[in-house]
């Protein structure tokens, strides 16, 4: 009977979990350093349990951060408190939303690191950069850093004219028979090429 998605409640509970201590805490703190560098501060837990991002300019409550930074700070927090560690799982719809392209590349790398550590990651995306980064990780696994090597599986959903949805799965992004992201990008490239040719 809740008037909001129950996953928000689940996420709130996970975000409120206490920070890891000892060796595991040190490992988690090291893991989030690239995210903290982008945010420009560290996710800090106050004595009353509230969360802030501590920067050189002061402490900021989550709602004062941009949507993208709030997302990255939440990811930091889930790593720091052990919610995203071995045998954990992450369901994430459109991780790329509200992030600039450089941050999307960082998120793709962090997701691979988490998967390498035993977190099972499920994500849905419409972004060519995010899907492309994960596609490269599958195609060139031997060239990825040891900490980023993980098993990847790609799924494509296609709706027929009759409205029936079919799902295909492949180990490589390029092998998907229907890739709406790539199709849209190629159409964009063709339009740009046509306009460039007409302008000459």
pLDDT, tens digit (0-9, with 9 covering 90-100), for 176-189: 988 888 888 889 99
The pLDDT of residue 2 is 61
Q: Contacts by 38-42 with C-beta closer than 8 Å and gap 24+? A: 38/69, 38/72, 38/103, 38/106, 39/65, 39/69, 39/72, 39/73, 39/76, 42/76
pLDDT of residue 1: 59
- According to the model, what pLDDT value does residue 56 have? 82
pLDDT of residue 180: 87
Indicate whether this model's pTM tops 0.75: yes
pLDDT in tens, 14-70: 888 888 999 999 999 999 999 999 998 888 877 676 788 888 888 888 788 888 999
Determine the pLDDT at residue 13: 87
């Amino acid at each position: 009977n809740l008037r909001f998605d129950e996953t928000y409640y689940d996420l709130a509970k996970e975000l409120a979990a206490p920070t890891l201590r000892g060796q595991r805490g040190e490992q988690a703190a090291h893991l989030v350093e690239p995210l903290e560098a982008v945010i420009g501060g560290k996710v800090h837990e106050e004595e009353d349990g509230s969360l802030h991002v501590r920067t050189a300019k002061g402490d900021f409550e989550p709602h004062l951060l941009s949507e993208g930074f709030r997302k990255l700070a939440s990811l930091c927090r889930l790593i720091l408190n052990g919610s995203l560690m071995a045998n954990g799982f992450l369901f994430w719809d459109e991780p790329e939303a509200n992030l600039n392209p450089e941050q999307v590349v960082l998120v793709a790398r962090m997701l691979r690191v988490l998967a390498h550590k035993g977190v099972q990651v499920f994500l849905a995306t419409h972004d060519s950069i995010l899907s492309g980064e994960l596609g490269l990780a599958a195609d060139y696994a031997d060239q990825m850093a040891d900490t980023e090597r993980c098993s990847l599986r790609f799924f494509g959903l296609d709706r027929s004219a009759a409205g029936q949805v079919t799902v295909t799965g492949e180990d490589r992004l390029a092998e998907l028979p229907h890739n709406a992201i790539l199709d849209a990008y190629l159409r964009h490239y063709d339009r740009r090429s046509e306009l460039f040719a007409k302008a000459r």
